[in-house]
Structure 1
Amino acid sequence: MAPDDRQTPVGLLATQLAAGDESALREAYHRWSRLIHTIARNSLGSAADADDVTQQVFIAAWNSRASLRASDEALPAWLIGICRMKVIDALRARSRGFRNEEAMMSEALDEPVVRNLDGVIDSVVVRDALAALGDPRAQILTMVYLEDKTHDDVARHLSIPLGTVKSHVRRGLERLRSVFEEVDSLV
């Protein structure tokens, strides 16, 4: 409002707003929108979110004007009450958004993406073939080829002679080769 304009008494303004007078809504906005915006900004920490809440408060005030009691204290308290509800709604929406983002990130990290079906099949065949070899041969091949351990490291870790490790590797690879040849002949 311009400085020389006279303000409508709050009780009369509430009565006019409740009756559906758009000029009363406009005046209420000019008088209390900064207060509503400040409350929303302090609660939400964001001027952009406070802008949205302020707009929502006055839209809600217009839409629910029939519930307004006409008195000097009722109108500003009613607007502040609407503001608190809209702030709560904004915080809930923000919380849901964070939970949804966390869930999507969690799913993306937990579920492997299958890009190459042949690679998945090969992985399954290798694991099955290793399991069929039995220990210690499967354990030795796993350590050498999947864990990148040297033959010496494996011998020390399993407390077996180096020559035995090398024999298990050679015989295990021969067995795996024959398994892969069988699989290739089926495909």
Structure 2
Amino acid sequence: MADATTTPIGVLARRFAAGDESALRETYERWSRLVHTIARTSLGSSADADDVTQQVFIAAWQSRATLRATDESLPAWLLGICRLKVIDALRARSRAFRKDELLASEAMAGEPPVEAARVDEVIDSVIVQDALAALGDPRATILRLVYLEDHTHDEVARRLDLPLGTVKSHVRRGLERLRAVFEEVDAA
């Protein structure tokens, strides 16, 4: 086995993508500190960074078939996975904070504790509203009109003075973006 720092990246990437476990070890030795540093800087916690680092390499190994094994793809691919895992960790942290905040505010107000299902429902609603806001207009407005206010595509097109095809395109692309957000949230 070559020294992990001297194996050409393209060779290592091809071995990794092919399922060579020694390539996983070399990849971990070569980039785990970078992944950990980025996670620690983003999350502010070594313990959380440890978890993210482990998740990055597990996810990389499990999805190695998606790696395009080129000369520089492996580190960029790992850092892309790291970015997603950091976002997942921040979202999970935010969800937990929102849930704790909601429970604490109701306890301070002397109200009976909220059922966990109700808290999750409120959190889901906030996530949907945040995700819609992130889409920007007119896409967010179109999705609100179609799915939250139950208007047809034709009605939305007339109301917003847009071509029907444009409305349908916004709906399709908006749903794709929302699906990606919800998959990330579910994974967290």
Structure 1 residues 5, 40: closer, same or farther in 2, change over 3 A? closer
Whole-angstrom distance in 2 between the partners of 1:79 and 1:37: 11
Whole-angstrom distance in 2 between the partners of 1:60 and 1:5: 20
Structural mapping, 1:49-128, within 5 Å:
49-112=48-111
Structure 1 residues 41, 63: closer, same or farther in 2, change over 3 A? same
**Quick one: which amino acid aligns to residue 50 of structure 1?**
A
Whole-angstrom distance in 2 between the partners of 1:72 and 1:11: 4
The count of corresponding residues between Structure 1 and Structure 2 is 112
> Once the 2 structures are TM-superposed, how far is the Cα of residue 111 of structure 1 from its aligned partner?
3.3
> Once the 2 structures are TM-superposed, how far is the Cα of residue 8 of structure 1 from its aligned partner?
1.9
Q: Deviations for 1:75-134, whole angstroms, at most 9, x for unmatched residues?
A: 000000000000000000000011010011112122356xxxxxxxxxxxxxxxxxxxxx
**Quick one: which amino acid aligns to residue 24 of structure 1?**
A
**Quick one: which amino acid aligns to residue 83 of structure 2?**
R
Aligned to 2:185: none
TM-score (norm 1): 0.56
TM-score (norm 2): 0.56
**Quick one: which amino acid aligns to residue 59 of structure 2?**
A
Whole-angstrom distance in 2 between the partners of 1:47 and 1:108: 32
Identity across matched positions, percent: 73
Structure 1 residues 6, 53: closer, same or farther in 2, change over 3 A? closer
Q: Highest Rg: 1 or 2?
A: 1
Q: Deviations for 1:48-75, whole angstroms, at most 9, x for unmatched residues?
A: 1111000000000000000001111100
Secondary structure at the aligned position of 2:14 is classed as helix
> Once the 2 structures are TM-superposed, how far is the Cα of residue 7 of structure 1 from its aligned partner?
3.0
Any stretches of 5+ residues in structure 2 without a counterpart?
Answer: 113-188
Structural mapping, 1:11-26, within 5 Å:
11-26=10-25
Whole-angstrom distance in 2 between the partners of 1:11 and 1:66: 15
Q: Deviations for 1:12-54, whole angstroms, at most 9, x for unmatched residues?
A: 1111111111110110000000000010011011111111000
Whole-angstrom distance in 2 between the partners of 1:15 and 1:28: 12
Whole-angstrom distance in 2 between the partners of 1:101 and 1:6: 45
Q: What RMSD, in angstroms, separates the aligned Cα atoms of the two structures? A: 2.0
Structure 1 residues 46, 6: closer, same or farther in 2, change over 3 A? closer
Any stretches of 5+ residues in structure 1 without a counterpart?
Answer: 114-187
